Structure 1
Amino acid sequence: MIILKCRDIINILENEAPLKLQEDYDNSGLQWGNPEDPVQKVLVCLDFTPDALRNAVENKVQLVISHHPVLFRPLRTINTAAGKGAMIAECIKNDISVYSLHTNFDTADNGLNEYLAKTLELQDITGLKKHYRDDLYKLVVFVPEESLQKVQKAIFDAGGGYIGNYSDCSFSAPGTGTFRPLEGSNPYIGQTGIFEKVKEYRLEVLVPEGKLRDVVKNMLEAHPYEEVAYDIYHVEQPGHEYSLGRIGTLREKLSCDEFVLHVKEKLNVHNVRTVGRIQDAEIQRVAVFCGSFDGDVKVLKDKNVDALVTGDLKYHTAQELEDAGIFTVDAGHYHTEKLFIKAISDILKNRLKDVIIVEHYGNDIFDFR
C-alpha cells in the first residue's frame, strides 16, 4: 500500500483548480496542517463545521477538504476553548490538516459550475464570463533525431501542446547541431575535445503558464543530453480562458413551471425562490452560477440567456433580472454547492486507489417553515 503525503493530494487539487484562479477576497489553500504528514483517509465537506470535525475525528481522517475556507477572515485571537480556536486545537491534537478550494474550484474547467451545469443536464456547455486568461509560452528545444518522440511525449504528458480543442500539437524541423565536449563533460554523443556535428530536430510546443514548470521538468528528464539547449518565449496571443459561471442548452424547451420542477429534481431540493414569469415561456438557453450570483445581469442579456440558476440573490439584482426578462431560480447556496462533495470525491477516487474518502454533506443552514 502506497502511503501518500498531504502535499501529494494538494498537488492533485491545485492541478485541477490552480490557486491563481481564486478571487482577490478569497482564502483558498491550506488552512492549517503539515503538508508532509501521511494521509490514508480524507473527509470532503462543503463547510468545516463542528459536526464535520466530529465526523473527521470518529473516522480518524488525516486531511479535510472543504469548499468554503475555514479561515476566511483573519483571526485576531485563538481561544482554544470555543469557536474556530477550539476546532484548530482539536485538529492539531488529532493530526488533521484542513485544505479549502473555493472560488478557484468554482472557476476551474472541470470545477463546480461545470458540475452544476452537467447535473442540470445542460448540453453544449461554455463559459459565461471571462475571469482569467493564462499567459502563453513557446518552448523550443533541440533534440537528437532518435529521441524526438520520447521528448515530445514527455512534454505532452505534462500539459504542453494544447491549441484550443486540439492536444499533442507541436512543430519539428530537422537541422544540424554543433558542439565540442570540454574536459569534465559526459557527452551523450561524441568525445571530449572533438568538434561534433549531429542531426537534430528543432521542436516547438505551446505551453500555458501554469504548466510551464512541469513541462520543462518532464522535458529535461526525457532528454538524453547532459546540457539541454532550449528557449522559452512569451507569446502575445491569448492563452486558455477560465470563466465565471457556465451557459448550456436543455435538450428540449421547458415552461417556467417545468423548468422549476427540473431544477428541484436534479438538485434534490424541495423549496426554491423564483424571479419573473414569462407568459408562454420556452426556456432552453440556461446560465448557472453556483453560490452567490455576482450581479452581472448585462452579460446574461448579451448572451441571450432564457433562465439563470444560482444559489444566492440580492433583492435589487432580482429586480434587474425580472426587468431583463430572465427567469431565475435561486435554489439556495447549499444546494448549488453541495455538489462539491461528489465532484472532489470523484476526482480523488479516479486518481488515488489507496486513500479512503469520507463524504460529509451536513445540512443547509436555512430551515423552511
Structure 2
Amino acid sequence: MKTLKEKLELKPQESWDNSGLQIGDYNTDINNIMLTLDVDLNIIEYAINNKIELIITHHPFLFSSLKSIDFSTYEGKLIKYIINNNINLYSMHTNYDMAEFGVNYQLSKILNINSYEVLHTVNPDGSGYGGIGHIEPVNIVEYAKKVKELLKSDHIKLYCNNNDKTVSKAAFCGGSGSDFIKDAIAKEADVYITGDIKYHQAQFALQNDLCVIDAGHYSTEYQSLHSIKNILCEIEELNVKLMEVNTVKEIIL
C-alpha cells in the first residue's frame, strides 16, 4: 500500500516550467482546497466566496517573469484578488505530468489501458510523458466514439486514412502531445490519443499510418485532478473541491 507521501511524489519539472508556489506562504494553515486545471476571474471569485485557502492548478498561472503588476490588466486583477483574500496558489505541471500517479496514470485508467509503458522517457528512473499499451481490437471509428464518451469530450477530431482500420495498440498523452507523435510511430501504435494537434502534425502521422484522436487539451488532462482529490481526501482535516471548468470557452457551431 502506497503512503500519502508516495502517492503525491512529483518528478523534477522541466527547465522551462514554473511549477510550485505561485503566490502565497508555505507556512499558512490550510483547510479548504480547490483543484482546477487553470485559474480565471470566475474561479478566483468562487474561491473568495467559499473561503478557499489554497488553489492547486495543473497549469501554472505565472509562466514567465513579471516586470510589473498592473491592477488594470486581467492578470494584475487576479493577483490583487488572490493576495487581498489570503489565497495561496500552487501549480503542479510537468512534475505532475510525469508522476507515477499523475496525468499518465489517470488517463490510462479512464481509457481502460490497464498496463502501459511510458511513451516518451525523460528521467533516469524511466518516467516521462504519455503511455502506450494494448487494447481489445476494435474499429477505429468505434474506438474514437468510445474515447469521446470516456473522456466526456464535447467533440473530438479523428485523423485516419482508413475508417475500416482495426486498432489494438493505443498511445496516449494528456494535453498537447504532438511532440511525441514520432514516439507513437516508433513504438508501432495504431492510434494516438492527445490534444492540440495541428494540420501538418496530423499529416505527418497519417503518412506514417498512425491514426490520431484529438480529444482536446482540457478533456485529456482535467480528469487527472481526481487523483489529487482522492489523495488529499485521505486527510480528514481537509475539505477538497474539484472544479471541472474549462476556462478556454469553445462554441461548437
Query: Structure 1 length as normaliser, TM-score?
Result: 0.64
Alpha-carbon offset, residue 14 of structure 1:
9.5
Q: Which of residues 276, 287, 295 in structure 1 aligns to 2:160?
A: 276
Q: Which of residues 287, 299, 302 in structure 1 aligns to 2:183?
A: 299
Alpha-carbon offset, residue 256 of structure 1:
1.3
Q: Deviations over 1:50-82 (max 9, x none)?
A: 111011111101100001100012222101233
- Say what the alpha-carbon RMSD is for the aligned residues: 1.8
The answer as to 2:245 corresponding to 1:362 is yes
The answer as to 2:236 corresponding to 1:245 is no
How does 1:48-67 map onto structure 2 within 5 Å?
48-67=39-58
* Aligned CA distance change for structure 1 residues 362 and 305 (closer, same or farther; 3 Å): same
Alpha-carbon offset, residue 314 of structure 1:
2.1
Question: CA–CA distance in 2 between the matches of 1:118 and 1:348?
Answer: 19
- The percentage of counterpart residues that share the same residue type is 31
How does 1:345-360 map onto structure 2 within 5 Å?
345-350=229-234, 352-360=235-243
Q: Which structure 2 residue ranges, 5 or more long, are not aligned?
A: none
Q: Is the 8 A contact 2:7 2:231 kept in 1?
A: no
The alignment of Structure 1 onto Structure 2 pairs a total of residues equal to: 249
**2:222 matched to which residue of 1?**
338
Q: Deviations over 1:153-192 (max 9, x none)?
A: xxxxxxxxxxxxxxxxxxxxxxxxxxxxxxxxxxxxxxxx
Alpha-carbon offset, residue 15 of structure 1:
4.5
Query: Structure 2 length as normaliser, TM-score?
Result: 0.93
Q: Is the 8 A contact 2:174 2:221 kept in 1?
A: yes
Amino acid in the other structure paired with 1:23? E
Q: Which structure 1 residue ranges, 5 or more long, are not aligned?
A: 1-10, 134-239
Question: CA–CA distance in 2 between the matches of 1:336 and 1:288?
Answer: 9
Amino acid in the other structure paired with 1:339? Q
Question: CA–CA distance in 1 between the matches of 2:163 and 2:149?
Answer: 23
Question: CA–CA distance in 2 between the matches of 1:40 and 1:355?
Answer: 5
> Runs ≥4 in structure 1, deviation > 4 angstroms?
11-15
Q: Is the 8 A contact 2:22 2:90 kept in 1?
A: yes
**1:217 matched to which residue of 2?**
none
**1:224 matched to which residue of 2?**
none
* Aligned CA distance change for structure 1 residues 23 and 14 (closer, same or farther; 3 Å): farther
Alpha-carbon offset, residue 28 of structure 1:
0.6
Report which of the two structures shows the higher radius of gyration computed on alpha carbons.
Answer: 1
